Amino acid sequence: MTAARKQELLARHRRRKRFLVLVSLLALLAVGGVYAWWLPPLLVLAGWIAHEAWFADHLFYSPRVDYAYDFPAATPCMEVVLADGELSLPAALPGGETLILEVRLRSRPLGYLFDPHVIIGDDRQDFERAACGRRYLNLSGQAARLASGRLPIVARHCTLAAPARLYVLANPDYTQERLLLVAPHADDAELAAFGLYSRAREVRIVTLTQGEVEAGGYRRLGLDKAQAARLKGRLRTWDSLAVPLWGGVAQQHCVQLGYYCLQLPAMLAAPEQVFPSRESGEGDIRPARRHNALALPADGDGLPTGANLIADLVAVLEHFRPRVVVMPHPELDPHPDHVAGAAALVKAIGQVRVRPELALLYANHLHDNDRWPMGPAGGGIALPPALTALPADGVWSPCLSPAEQIDKALALAMQHDLQGALPGKARLRRLIQSLLAGRRWPATGDNEFFRKAVRRHELFWVRRLER
């Protein structure tokens, strides 16, 4: 799903909401004319509170549809028994560290007001309100408990129906491979893979853009739009080089390419054309590269072009020769820079002599659900909504200990783009949702990514690259 499709869905959602608001106002005016002048304002207030509590999520699909996942043909699959609040196996558990449970989930009446969720042992995984259909729970990290007998499983505000199928996916420990982690922006590496890179034996992190756009918050320092964008670009460039040290990755193992935010799609479409920043007024990428330990082709002219981007990525691949690349999922993550960044990396891989064998794909954004991973921080990561067929990739879902989750949260807290106070309207919405809908947010930070990214799992799709 493209970024344009996401914008189309958002526009449709807003049109429907405006239509419903107009109809509601006309109905309220009619009620006020018949009964009392004070009744419409009271009903408006009640309606607004109900909207903030239960209807403010951006969910651009019916929650009553099946998720559609295929796994590699050789993936072991077994039917499991769901009975009396326990999950048990009819046979020995095949070898494999990533366990995905396919279930039929149906919301109870309270599941329309509160987030339906499933408690598996000491884990919790949430789904959409009013969810009904095929869903995929992540049981990774529960293998020993499952193999020893029965694993407690309790559905809250929903029911689980038989049959349930357990997919067992076996992966090597990719932290022992030579990894190249490609992040379109500073913080993408931490959001998707802090646990992975902090354990990695040998890893390099390359960040594609300065991330200088949407810098209005810095204008409070007395800066104009261009100055604020330049300051934000410098800060996020620093973040991309400095924050990985918290996870044990030295600055000389990080590379900042310095291209401009939201320009990657245009750069790939017209590789020889120069695409300067939309907001900072800058058109020379070399200042953002001054701390790189590795010399790159575009250091010569400093031009932000697609040809230079591909040449830089070829140079990084040739220099480091990774066996595994970590990159955005080209079908699931719709952010335009993520889509273009993945496409640029694939194009560069086609031009190197020693090619990576595998890609670990991550999704920091979705086109149709802005709450995934759903539920509170610290819970597991169920597979995201996939309403159309995806490639039959493998899945690898390493677990993070509570201490590693705290380290990941603090790495996010160091990212300048994830700092700052929550706007007043959003804070009020959270208060309403905590009181009426039972939702909770972590103490580590206000940004929604502190809830979404700091989990007991990280999640990667495993795709073999063409050679």
Instruction: Give the DSSP letter string of 112-167.
Output: GTS--EEEETTEEEE--TT-EEEEEEE-TT-HHHHHTSEEEEEEESEEEEEEEEEE
Using 70 as the pLDDT threshold, list the residues of the chain that sit under it: 1-40, 467
Q: Is 318 inside any structural domain?
A: yes
- 327 and 207 co-located in one domain: yes
User: Last residue of a domain, which of 115, 148, 169?
Assistant: 169
- 232 and 321 co-located in one domain: yes
- CATH number reported for the structural domain that contains residue 225 in this entry: 3.40.50.10320
Domain, as residue range, for 132: 77-169
Residue 1's pLDDT is 42
Residue 31's pLDDT is 58
- 275 and 178 co-located in one domain: yes
Q: Is 62 inside any structural domain?
A: no
Q: Is 335 inside any structural domain?
A: yes
User: Last residue of a domain, which of 169, 189, 205?
Assistant: 169
Residue 163's pLDDT is 84
- 40 and 128 co-located in one domain: no
Q: 84: burial class by Cβ within 10 Å (0-12, 13-18, 19+)?
A: exposed
DSSP SS3 for 229 = helix
Residue 267's pLDDT is 98
Q: Is 66 inside any structural domain?
A: no
- 123 and 249 co-located in one domain: no
- 271 and 345 co-located in one domain: yes
- 333 and 193 co-located in one domain: yes
Distances from the Cα of 409 to the Cα of 69, 412, 414, angstroms: 30, 5, 9
User: Last residue of a domain, which of 136, 169, 202?
Assistant: 169
Both tokens of residue 53?
């509590």
Q: Is 71 inside any structural domain?
A: no
The answer for residues whose C-beta is within 8 angstroms of residue 391's C-beta and 6 or more apart is 70, 331, 463
Q: Is 37 inside any structural domain?
A: yes
Residue 277's pLDDT is 98
Residue 465's pLDDT is 94
- 312 and 424 co-located in one domain: yes
- 360 and 212 co-located in one domain: yes
- 156 and 184 co-located in one domain: no
Task: Find the largest Cα–Cα distance for the chain.
Answer: 79
- 31 and 107 co-located in one domain: no
- 20 and 49 co-located in one domain: yes
Distances from the Cα of 107 to the Cα of 83, 127, 174, 177, angstroms: 18, 9, 37, 42
Q: Is 64 inside any structural domain?
A: no
Q: The pTM is what?
A: 0.92
Q: Is 8 inside any structural domain?
A: yes
Is the bond leading into 297 cis (omega within 30 degrees of zero)? no
Per the structure, the count of domains in the chain is 3
- Distance between CA atoms of residues 342 and 330, nearest Å: 6
